[in-house]
Every structure is written in C-alpha cells, then in structure tokens.
C-alpha cells in the first residue's frame, strides 16, 4: 500500500468509519488503474493526507484525490457533495487564472481573499485551496521560471496566508509564509536572515535551561502539563514586526517557550508560577483566553526576564493547540465531546454567538460566517484582473463609477463574462465586467 495511504488510514482511524476509508481507497484505486499521471496522483494524495491530518471528512479527502484531474473516464458515481465541491473548485481556479498576476497592492489582495470567500458556498472549498497552496509551495524551489515563482509566492503570502489565518489555521498560515517569503520578498528575506544570524542557536541554549527549570518547578508543585517545547518565530513574522517598530531590537519573541496543559485553570496557575520564577516585562502580557484573537486563537502570552534576556512564554490547553490546526472545522471536530469546554469566537463573527453548533447545519454556519466578513458586498473583476468591492445589487453602471467618474460619465455598453448586458443588470461575485466607453482614450487609460 502507498505510504501516504497508510498515513491517511492512521490519521482517520479515530474519526472516520471503515466504510468512509474504503470509499477513499476505491477512489484511489480507480485513479491509479485509469492510467492517470503518477505525479498527479502522488500530489493529490499529499493533499488528501494533509486533509486527513486536519480531520476533514471523507468527502473532502476524496475531493482532494480528484482535484484538477481528468475525471471523464472515472466510472465511480460520486455523491452530490463531492460533485459540488469539484464544481466550485473548477470555478475558483478559472477566476484565479484571471487575477493571479495582479497581487501587488494590499487592498487588491484583501479584495481577492474576499472574492474567494464570496464565491465559496462550502467552507471546504477554501480549505482545499489553502492545502493546495501549501503543497505547491513545498515544491516551488523546483520551479525554474523565476517570474512564475515570484507570482505564485506573492499570491500565496498576500491572499492565502491571511485567508488561512482568518479561518483559524495558524499553523498552515505560518508554513505558507515560511515557504513563500524568500521568493516573494527576497531582499527583505535576506535582511531578516542577516539580522537573525546565530540568534536562534544562542537563544535555544538559554531556553533549554529555562525549560528544565520550569519542568522541575511544575513537577514540584504538582501542576499538570502535557509538553513544553520551543516555537521559532518565522522570518516573515519577524519582518512584519520590524516594519511595525522599524527596529529589530524591539522583537522579543524570536523564540518562545510553549507550555501545553489540559485545562484553562491550569493555564492561569502555570502563569502565576512563571511570574514567581522570573519578573514579567510590563505591558507584555496578553490574555487571549478571555479575549481571543479575531481568528479564535486562544492562549496566555507573557514575556519574562531571565538573566536579563527577554523570553516569551505561551501557555495554552491541548484543545487550543489542536484548534490552530483544524481552524474553522474545529467547531465540528470537537462537537461530539468537547464543544462545551470552549465557546469563545472571533470578535468579527459576533452573529455566531447564539448558534448551536451541534444542531446547525455546517453550510448555514458558513453562510453566517461569510456575511460577518463580507457584510453586504460583492466582488467583481475587471478585464485587467483587478478585484473591486461593490454593494449587493450593484449594476455595471455602478461598477463604471467605482473605477472613475469619467468611466461612468462616458458609459456606452457593458459586458459581463463576455456577454452584452443592460446597465441595470445585477452583478454577482466572480463576474468579469468590461465597460465600453464613448471615448477610446478613457477606455485605454483604465482598461488596458
């Protein structure tokens, strides 16, 4: 059996049925027997394996196996869920071909993220695209075309890394940033690398000693913990902090100690113990358990001084740690046994507060999630690949004025997805809108 299939089996044993796994095997066997490219099959297996690590359902794993493959000769009849996922993925891939090369402006990148959310009827589509981005980046060093490498990397770091973060996948967001930063911003990457030098190694020596002291003290006081480990801050995160402070010396969390425990009460007990061992730095304490980050991240962060060396300590429960790997799906991963142990939600998602995750259909929750992020906006695309935000029920004439008053004043005809439409035509997210004006000069200025 393929090694990746074995990994999928091991990852899914605790949450999928044997029937689910047999359906996954059946799909793989048919793809293999239909003489699909071995390279494509192996790539899709890597997508499926990542999905299984994130505890995604069988339909999502099977969709990963079928992603971007020629499915004409496949005889298996897939259920409606899988077919809909594949159809949405195809639509998003077509749109991305249009917008991929235009990722330089931050506002444009935000609109692209919102476009992907607006076009997705199922949260699993976004997750598969995030997984695909991660796996493509893992092979990007093999890409010989430097321009293509740059375009894919900057699209990943500006569009998919923030999207992964927004959906609660902090671990994957960090991996995407790590892999794309050297190719998206090579000068900034080299500057950050030069600043770090051998700091990681020197700090780790200090942290090993601090870790040993913490373990002794926790055991002595009968405080329960699962693990104590180091977390290296990624280069891109360090660069973002440098841009904020314009000073590398203000970055205290290059390496952090992460303490994983079982209960929220233990988190606060361990925090008190840490502060009794070493003095905390004023204004460096963050209680993300009581006030989670917008992506639902929860933990206690404190920075202490040990031998005049600032050290960040993060304390969280096992569930909080696991949630950073399952993201938005954690609402359902934990629904059977652990849902009641945490009910904090992102501040941006206020309308989720009154939802019962045990009884509300997943897609209904996702609709509410989308509305909280997008409000009442749609996202359409110009012929150049720029993405524009417009209120719902907007028309081509509204779009023309959004670009520039001259375009609206000289409006002559609109084309939506290459079809001639009336000025009162109602636009929807994903539409490609072209405006023909009365003066060629204006058209050339804004649309070439």
Domain 377-447 fold: Ubiquitin-like (UB roll) (3.10.20)
Domain spanning 3-190 has what CATH number?
1.10.3210.10
Of 95-104, 237-246, 356-365, 373-382, which range is least confident?
356-365
Q: In 268-282, which positions are buried (b, 16+ CB within 10 angstroms) versus exposed (e)?
A: ebbbebbeeebeeee
Assign domain 196-323 one CATH number from 3.30.460.10, 3.30.450.40, 3.40.50.2020, 3.30.460.30. Answer: 3.30.460.10
Task: List, for residues 108-164, the tens digit of each pLDDT value.
Answer: 787 888 888 888 888 889 999 999 999 999 998 888 888 889 999 999 999 999 888
* Helix, strand, coil share (%) of the chain residues, nearest 5: 60, 15, 30
What are 102's two structure tokens? 């235009």
According to CATH, where is 3.10.20.30 located in the chain? 377-447
Residues 57 and 62: their CA atoms lie apart, in Å, by 9
Residues 31 and 187: their CA atoms lie apart, in Å, by 43
Residues 273 and 277: their CA atoms lie apart, in Å, by 6
According to CATH, where is 1.10.3210.10 located in the chain? 3-190
Task: List, for residues 188-206, the tens digit of each pLDDT value.
Answer: 999 998 888 877 777 888 8
According to CATH, where is 3.30.460.10 located in the chain? 196-323
This prediction's pTM: 0.76
């Amino acid at each position: 059996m393929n090694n990746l299939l074995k990994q999928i089996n091991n990852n899914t044993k605790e949450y999928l049925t044997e029937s689910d796994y047999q359906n996954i095997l059946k799909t793989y066997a048919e793809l293999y027997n239909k003489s699909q490219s071995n390279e494509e099959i192996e790539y899709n297996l890597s997508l499926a394996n990542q999905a299984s690590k994130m505890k995604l359902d069988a339909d999502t794993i099977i969709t990963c196996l079928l992603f971007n493959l020629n499915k004409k000769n496949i005889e298996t009849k897939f259920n409606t869920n899988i077919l809909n996922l594949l159809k949405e993925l195809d639509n998003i891939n077509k749109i991305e071909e249009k917008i991929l090369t235009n990722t330089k402006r931050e506002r444009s990148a935000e609109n692209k993220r919102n476009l992907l959310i607006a076009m997705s009827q199922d949260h699993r589509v976004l997750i598969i695209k995030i997984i695909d981005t991660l796996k493509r980046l893992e092979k990007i060093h093999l890409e010989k075309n430097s321009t293509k490498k740059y375009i894919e990397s900057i699209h990943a770091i500006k569009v998919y890394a923030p999207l992964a973060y927004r959906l609660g996948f902090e671990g994957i967001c960090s991996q995407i940033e790590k892999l794309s930063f050297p190719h998206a911003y090579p000068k900034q990457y080299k500057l950050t690398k030069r600043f770090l030098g051998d700091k990681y190694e020197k700090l780790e020596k200090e942290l090993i000693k601090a870790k040993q002291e913490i373990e002794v003290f926790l055991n002595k006081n009968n405080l329960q913990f699962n693990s104590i480990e180091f977390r290296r801050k990624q280069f891109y995160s360090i660069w973002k902090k440098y841009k904020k402070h314009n000073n590398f010396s203000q970055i205290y969390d290059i390496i952090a100690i992460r303490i994983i425990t079982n209960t929220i009460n233990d988190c606060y007990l361990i925090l008190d113990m840490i502060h009794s061992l070493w003095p905390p730095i004023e204004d460096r304490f963050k209680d993300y358990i009581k006030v989670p980050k917008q992506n639902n991240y929860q933990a206690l962060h404190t920075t202490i001084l040990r031998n005049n060396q600032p050290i960040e300590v993060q304390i969280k429960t096992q569930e909080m740690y696991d949630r950073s790997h399952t993201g938005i799906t954690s609402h359902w991963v934990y629904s059977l046994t652990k849902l009641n142990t945490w009910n904090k939600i992102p501040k941006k998602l206020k309308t989720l507060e009154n939802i019962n995750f045990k009884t509300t259909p997943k897609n209904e929750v996702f609709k509410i999630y989308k509305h909280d992020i997008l409000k009442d906006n749609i996202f359409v695309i110009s012929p150049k690949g720029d993405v524009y935000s417009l209120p719902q029920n907007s028309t081509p004439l509204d779009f023309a004025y959004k670009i520039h008053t001259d375009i609206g004043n000289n409006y002559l005809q609109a084309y939506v997805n290459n079809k001639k439409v009336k000025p009162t035509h109602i636009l929807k997210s994903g539409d490609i809108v072209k405006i023909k004006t009365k003066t060629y000069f204006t058209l050339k200025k804004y649309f070439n």
